[in-house]
């Protein structure tokens, strides 16, 4: 990892939707999300455009609903396992919104956000699990990550991702292996 918080050998598409974490904040949580743009469609550059405030609201009816949003994540895991980094992990990405984890509010302050290309009601590809596992291992080497949670865990009632199609047991079993 670079001193700024970029992972080596990962494609970068820097998002302006980031800011400084509060001073002295320990980055202890990894939050798993899912996203597809347009909803249910994979591939293309709409997610990258969304996270960089370049989404054309005229390109799809759904884009008109989200065009003014300013959001980001640290990482995106594409269907084929490709990893894209938008925000250095030492910076705060705008991914969790109103959230709390184990009594602690404002999860963006102390978490790394990872978006999986997918939907709440579909399965994720094996390549995505492999990439997410490798990413989590790399982040654990550099950060004091202790927990991993779903977006739905930190924003219950407001968010449902990554959804029932995400195989938590598979990921956690892999991460528990040496």
Q: From CA 121, how far away is CA 113, in angstroms rounded?
A: 20
Q: Is the pLDDT of residue 105 over 80?
A: yes
Active-site pick, 4, 41, 48, 115: 115
- The mean pLDDT value for 98-111 works out to 97
Which pTM does this prediction carry? 0.96
178: confidence class by pLDDT, cuts 50, 70, 90: low
177: confidence class by pLDDT, cuts 50, 70, 90: confident
User: Closest Cα partner for 143 from 31, 29, 27?
Assistant: 27
Residue 147 β-bridge partners? 29
Residue spans of beta strands (DSSP E) within the chain? 11-12, 18-20, 29-35, 75-77, 83-85, 91-93, 100-101, 104-105, 111-117, 147-150
pLDDT digits (tens, 9 = 90+) for 147-158: 999 999 999 999
User: Closest Cα partner for 31 from 81, 88, 93?
Assistant: 93
Q: Is the pLDDT of residue 112 over 90?
A: yes
Task: Specify whether domain 11-176 bears CATH 3.90.420.10.
Answer: no
Q: Which tokens sit at 57?
A: 């609201």
Domain ranges of the chain: 11-176
Predicted pLDDT of residue 2: 93
pLDDT digits (tens, 9 = 90+) for 62-82: 999 998 999 999 999 999 999
- The mean pLDDT value for 8-16 works out to 97
Q: Confirm whether 117 is a catalytic residue.
A: no
Residue 63 backbone dihedrals phi, psi, to 5 degrees: -65, -25
């Amino acid at each position: 990892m670079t001193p700024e918080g970029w992972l080596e050998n990962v494609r970068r598409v820097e998002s302006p939707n980031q800011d400084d974490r509060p001073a002295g904040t320990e980055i202890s949580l990894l939050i798993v999300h899912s996203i597809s743009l347009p909803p249910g469609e994979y591939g293309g550059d709409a997610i990258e455009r969304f996270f960089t405030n370049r989404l054309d609201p005229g390109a799809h009816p759904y884009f008109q609903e989200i065009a003014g949003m300013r959001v980001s994540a640290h990482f995106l895991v594409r269907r084929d396992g490709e990893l894209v980094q938008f925000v250095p992990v030492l910076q705060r990405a705008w991914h969790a919104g109103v959230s709390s984890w184990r009594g602690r509010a404002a999860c963006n302050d102390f978490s790394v956000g990872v978006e999986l290309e997918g939907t709440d009601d579909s399965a994720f590809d094996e390549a995505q699990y492999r990439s997410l596992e490798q990413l989590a291992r790399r982040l654990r080497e550099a950060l004091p990550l202790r927990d991993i949670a779903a977006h739905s865990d930190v924003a219950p009632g407001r968010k449902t991702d990554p959804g029932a199609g995400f195989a938590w047991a598979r990921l956690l079993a892999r991460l528990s292996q040496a």
